[in-house]
Every structure is written in structure tokens, then in C-alpha cells.
Chain A
């Protein structure tokens, strides 16, 4: 997938992304450790792409950040504060997560999908939450599809609704869990473009992806993981042009 660099944006809408830091994060399913002492820093308003073979613990890492799966040890700091000492629901309000399979609510329209949490978590009025949802759908180019149910939308449109749903909560950090892996090839670009826009507009993003073009062009930092550890990380140009570890060299030769 070729990915083109967006030109800088000039209009007004910017996000206030917070910093995110993982310190020796270790996560386990039962006795099996799937993530071992992962440390990484994401500066405010920057994008970090996590790449690596399947089973490397990438998705688990994202679920540790917002505590959908409780870390075994280590710490996650959002805007400098540990998320482990806060209420999970309070943390999740500040962190958006976009899933591989969208996980839209099938019995809600696109607008209702976006408005639901705004209404019931943020506590806005019905009219107010609809207004927020309309604005967010507009932002992802789906204002005209507001009253469609998910099954009447393409995969790409569904994923953009899911992104709007996360954005509507005004998160400080956005997590993407292979957001384009379930899409038809021609629809991938639309979603990636949207993600690139978010990055440009100052959102802090942690993106698990197999789109190497996106990682190369949009990421400020690329992290290569394998077997639950960070093997190599750095600027995209370093990682893609001069991979040091044999593991990463091998991985890149397989996927590029």
C-alpha cells in the first residue's frame, strides 16, 4: 500500500493530545506472559506506530493502556499520572480505542453510535449529544450517512464511524488496534488518511498497524515488537532504512 504524505493543514481544528508513557509494562493471560517489561514514551501530539509479527503482544499492549486488560506489573502514565491508581472508567474516557472489527452497535444508527457515550458517559443532553455526534460525523466525512445502520455502511465507513465515536469523547490519546486490517484494499486509504489528519491535528496516537507505508510517513516513532518485547524502536527512517536487529530485518523482508 503506497501512502502519500499529507500537506500541512491550515484550518483551525486542533486536538490537545496528552503524553503517554509505559514503564516496564508486563501483561499476562493466566500464567502466560504475553508482554514483558515494555517501556515506551509517546510525546504529546505525536504518533507512535507499533509493528511486529502476530503474537508479539501489540493488541494486548493497547488493552493494557486503557485497562481493558489489567497489567500484571509496571505502569502506564497518562499526562504524567499513573492510570493504575485511577478509576478505569475515568481513564477510558480520556483514551479512545479503535478496534480491528469496528465493534459498532448494530442496532444503532451511525449518529446514535457516536452519540451514545456522549450522552450516557459525558452526561450531555440528548440534543447536545446529537449535535456533538453530527459534528464528529461531519469531521470523518459521513454527515450524510448519519442515519444509516452499520450493516448499510462499507467497512471503511464503519471504521470512520468508530473513529468518530471515539473522538466524540474528546480523548487525549487515541489507540488504534489494526484499524485497517479488516478492510477491503481500496477502503484502507480513506481510514489511513483520516488517521493521518488526526496526527497532524495534534492527537497523541498509538497505532498498531501492518501498514508500513503509513508507519513510515506518519509516525514520529516506530516500535518493533516481537514475542512480547520491544526489539527495536526509533525514527521511521532509521527503522525502515537501517534495521539493526536480525529480527526486524527478517520481518521487513517478509512484509515489504
Chain B
């Protein structure tokens, strides 16, 4: 059973895993979460702007939003990350210092915002037109109607899709290693990869993979839970009630009851 031993040693060498575990936890996991959460937060803000522009009645807002979305959704993530990470390195150096870390987050945010913008747009457009009409009929401005009524309903519907997008960002965050991170800035993939190269053993990378799954798999199931909940609603079961009872509700004063002349 030589080959089995070999396989186990290559992929499941617990000693190698144990050695890299502190780094994966203390450096890799922290950075992966920081990069992903930051990119998601910025992506949500930019995505909302792109979505609002994308459904605007004005062509001057709609077209740029469309172009932006097409570009960042259409390019491979790795290409965008390299272009942004290296192209803006000089400007970034003046603001953030020599680390490419902020640019990596920025690049991921731009990519994410294109997808999130589409998610928001779809959600907002799925809200019944009557909602906007009702707001406008009450004298609300377009902006107030969107802000108070339409957008909140749209967002609620796309929460599951947003969680999916976060999962995609977590996975894409591994691409940031292309920019050459400092030792303390490495995310899960890079930590695992470095250890794998050092030991000539893939087990650290396998453990890094386990960490990704620990983040993404529960989220996937959270999405399904959300999805069910949003589809079936939170409605408490209520005993059946006769519509005839309702006729009693509307007799506020004796003066308003109907005469016997009918």
C-alpha cells in the first residue's frame, strides 16, 4: 500500500498541517476575512450607486452604469486585479504606503460592485410598479419613494444573492496574492501555498482549502435558509376568519348606520 501512504503524506500530513495552523489562523484567515469583508462593503456601496444609476430615467446616468458593469463583469478577475494593483501602484504608494493590499481590496471591490449592482438592479426592478406609483400619488419625490419604499423592498429580496456574491468574493480574494503581499498580509491561499512550497507537501494547502470551506459552506446553507424564509414568509398560521365579520367594523357612530327605509 505504498501509493496510499504517499497520497496520505501528500494531502493529509497532519504534522505539516499542525505546523502551518497558527499562521493560517492568525494571518491567513484574518486577512482573507478582512479583504473579503472590506471588498464586500465597498462593493455594496458602489453597487447600490451603479444600480440606482442603472434604473434612472436619465440616459446620462444609465449608460455609464451599463458600461461600468459590462467592463468589470466581462474582464477576468485576475486581469482587473493586476491592472489596478500595478497600474495604480504609484498613486497608492503616496496614500497607503508600499503595500499593494489596499489596491487588491479596491480591485476586488470594483469587480464585486459590478455584480452587486446587477443584483440590486434586478431586486429593485422586481418590486411592483404600483409601489412607486403609490408613493408618487402621495406626493413623494422619486428619490424619497426609492429610498423609503422601493429600494428597501428590493434589497430584502436579493439578500440570498448577496450572500452568494460574498462567497464568490471570499474565493476571489485568493487572487490578490498576485500583487505580492507582505508576510503579514498573506491570505489563506498564500499562507498555504508558501508552506506547501517550503515543505514540498500539499497538506498545508489542503488545510487552507478546509478553511475556505468552513467560511463558504455554512453561508451556502444560510442562503438556502433565507431563501425558504423569504419565499414562505413569516406568516403565523391564523384561524380562518369570515369576511362577513368585517361588515361590523365600519359603523363608527349610530348616526352613520343605515336606515330601515331600504
Residues of A within 8 A of B (CB): 4-7, 9-11, 66, 68, 88-90, 92-93, 95-97, 99, 101, 103-107, 116-117, 120-121, 138-142, 151-152, 154, 156-157, 160, 162, 165-166, 169, 184, 186-187, 189-190, 193-194, 197
Do B246 and A156 touch across chains, with their CB atoms under 8 A apart?
A: yes
| A-chain residues with CB within 8 Å of residue B128 when the two chains form the complex | 103
Do A89 and B140 touch across chains, with their CB atoms under 8 A apart?
A: yes
Bound Cα distance from A169 to B233, whole angstroms: 31
Write the chain A residue with the least CB distance to B260: A7
Do B133 and A68 touch across chains, with their CB atoms under 8 A apart?
A: yes
Q: Which chain B residues numbered 120 to 146 have a C-beta less than 8 Å away from chain A?
A: 128, 130-131, 133-141, 144
Shortest CB–CB separation between residue B89 and chain A, in angstroms?
45
Beyond A92-B137, A107-B152, A169-B138, is A190–B130 a contact (Cβ under 8 Å)?
no
Contact of A103 among B131, B233, B259 (CB under 8 A): B131
Do A120 and B140 touch across chains, with their CB atoms under 8 A apart?
A: yes
Beyond A99-B133, A120-B144, is A187–B246 a contact (Cβ under 8 Å)?
yes
Contact of A9 among B152, B153, B247, B256 (CB under 8 A): B256
Contact of A116 among B148, B243, B251, B259 (CB under 8 A): B148
| A-chain residues with CB within 8 Å of residue B257 when the two chains form the complex | 7
Beyond A6-B256, A117-B140, is A107–B246 a contact (Cβ under 8 Å)?
no
Shortest CB–CB separation between residue B206 and chain A, in angstroms?
45
Bound Cα distance from A101 to B257, whole angstroms: 28
Bound Cα distance from A208 to B138, whole angstroms: 19
Q: Which chain B residues numbered 208 to 260 have a C-beta less than 8 Å away from chain A?
A: 233, 235, 238, 241, 243-244, 246-247, 249-253, 255-259
Bound Cα distance from A104 to B149, whole angstroms: 10
| B-chain residues with CB within 8 Å of residue A154 when the two chains form the complex | 241, 243, 246
Do B138 and A186 touch across chains, with their CB atoms under 8 A apart?
A: no
| A-chain residues with CB within 8 Å of residue B255 when the two chains form the complex | 7, 9-11
| B-chain residues with CB within 8 Å of residue A5 when the two chains form the complex | 258-259, 261-262
Residue among A4, A97, A103, A107 facing the most chain B CB atoms (10 A cut-off) = A103
| A-chain residues with CB within 8 Å of residue B134 when the two chains form the complex | 99, 103-105, 162
